[in-house]
Amino acid sequence: MGIELDTSAVARLRAAVTGTVYVRGEEGLAAEISCFNPAIRHDPDIVVAVASEEDVVEAVGFAREAGLPVRVQATGHGAEAPIVGGMIVSTRGLDRLSIDAEARRAHIGAGLRWAPVIVAAAEHGLAPVTGSSTSVGAVGYSLGGGIGPLARHYGFTSDWVRGFRVVTADGRIVTADRQTNSDLFWALRGGKGGLAIVTEMTLELVALRSLYGGSVFFEGGAIEPALRAWIDWSADLPDEATTSIALLSVPDLDGPPPPLRGRTVLSVRFAFPGETAEGEKLFAPIRDAAPVYLDFVAEMPATAVASIHNDPEEGGPTWIRGFMLDTFDQDAGDVLLELAGPGSGAPFLAVEVRQIGGATARDTDDGSAVGGRDSGYTLSLLAADPSTFAEAAPARAQAIADALRDRISAITNVNFAGDLADRAAFEKVWPSAVQERLTATRTQWDPDRMFAFGPA
């Protein structure tokens, strides 16, 4: 399967790059492009594991000559379907990081995960606005917008991006920021793909050393009153605080903390980047709602942000479906309890509802392509038992979607949308005016659609 690559052109590419070139069948290729979800195995014709911006230029030149589609992968956290054929540019080697503390800027290489950025920024009392998991790639995440545990206070992460360096489809290295190539800058903040290969991102950091946050867990008969209290309480929460819930069916295996193993629990997450006393006061109604099984909400260093959601560090086979909701009221709570709650027989490991709004509803003054600003909540359904992926998980997700259809938003942010090769999913990730402008921007910067993205 696949195409015949010109071996002398491959040899020239190998000689030209400082990184590593793998063609199909070569040792090391699979490891270079492994995905967070190991059930997804890519099968490209060629992989260029770039070590510099110049390597990206060489890779793009090779792909252009060979007529190959090009896709980009950093961590593989975003892989939703196998990539078959073409070139993958693996950016893991683009790991340069510098912090300009005075200007509160981080210059982040495209291969970096959030974790090292958090550590480096903290040395200056600063923090990047990140997602729930710090092993996600900073650039891939921000290209989709990025909705994190502090989203209501700080907005989308892409709102804090101040510039990109990219390699274009015609092999040029250009910058995109407010002043230069501002159309491309608009598109890269939320437009995700099909535009250019980002080699470096400049992110404004926020002054944050500590926050009041974490998660509490409810189990058994406490789950329903806690969920119901959360629904009413979150509706009136000030924009400075961000919260989410997750109904978790924790497997009885090594890995999760022993008190959680084999139990169904409701986790209520909270993040407040203000005074501890005020955070305690804000969070008190949740602690009073029902007997708390485990309580990990406290003052924490900003570097511990990943402990708010406790996403798994190691990937595993997963099936995922995401939506955004305009509202999440007690009727929606009924649906969740009936179709995904304890004893419902739902095949999900996690059912997560994040409240957004606040700063996520406010666009940057120069505008950006992010989808989902008008929504109030995200809903993610995640199954981990492969025997449920074909039927049980999709069928139960559909039943939940049907029951919530009046609340499901017209738009689902691209980072939550699943497989973008699915035309129906792709058409929902941006409002139509944004879709049109993105298509025009993609056509301008990549007229031959070399940077394959979305439905074929």
Residues interacting with ligand FAD, by CB under 6 A?
36, 72-79, 91, 110, 131-133, 136-137, 139-141, 143-144, 146-148, 192-193, 197-198, 311, 415
Q: What is the distance between the alpha carbons of residues 372 and 356, in angstroms, rounded to a whole number?
A: 10
To the nearest whole angstrom, how small is the minimum distance from the Cβ of residue 115 to ligand FAD?
12
Nearer to ligand FAD, 151 or 289 (CB): 151
Name the residue nearer to ligand FAD (CB basis): 89 or 397.
89
Bridge partners of 87?
46, 70
Cβ proximity to ligand FAD, 105 vs 192, nearer residue: 192
Angle, CA 416 vertex, CA 289 and CA 209 arms, to 5°: 60
The least distance separating ligand FAD from the CB of residue 146, rounded to whole angstroms, comes to: 5
Minimum CB separation of residue 327 from ligand FAD in Å reads: 20
Give the residue at shortest CB distance from ligand FAD. Answer: 140
Strands 105-109 and 126-127: unpaired
Torsion of the alpha carbons at 383, 387, 389 and 391, rounded to the nearest 10: -120
Distance CA 6, CA 10 (A): 6
Residue 354, SS3? strand
Question: Cβ closer to ligand FAD: 132 or 412?
Answer: 132
Shortest separation between residue 418's beta carbon and ligand FAD, angstroms: 10
- Strand pairing partners for 244? 269, 354
Q: H/E element holding 96?
A: none
Residue 135 or 264: which CB sits closer to ligand FAD? 135
| Closer to ligand FAD by Cβ: residue 143 or 297 | 143
For ligand FAD, which is the closer residue by CB, 156 or 272?
156
CA–CA gap between residue 126 and residue 75 (Å, rounded): 24
Smallest gap from Cβ 75 to ligand FAD, in A, equals 4
At its nearest, how many Å lie between ligand FAD and the CB of residue 42? 10
Q: How far is the CB of 211 from ligand FAD (least distance, A)?
A: 16
Give the nearer residue to ligand FAD in terms of CB position, either 83 or 400: 83
| Cβ nearer to ligand FAD, comparing 331 with 363 | 363
Task: Work out the number of other CB atoms within 10 angstroms of the CB of residue 158.
Answer: 24
The Cα 262–Cα 248 span in angstroms is: 10
Mention every residue, 6+ apart, whose C-beta is less than 8 A from residue 45.
2, 3, 5, 23, 24, 68, 85, 86, 87
CA distance 273 to 19: 41
Between residues 104 and 354, which has the closer beta carbon with respect to ligand FAD?
Answer: 354
Tokens 């559909």 locate to 398
260 in Cβ contact with 249 (< 8 Å): no
Q: Determine the straight-line distance between the first and last CA of the chain, rounded to whole angstroms.
A: 19
Q: How far is the CB of 147 from ligand FAD (least distance, A)?
A: 4
Residue 109 and residue 70 in contact, taking contact as beta carbons nearer than 8 Å: no
Considering the complex, what minimum distance in angstroms separates the CB of residue 136 from ligand FAD? 4
Q: What are the residues facing 20 on neighbouring strands?
A: 49
CB of 78 to ligand FAD, least distance (A): 3
Hey, is 105 helix, strand or coil? strand
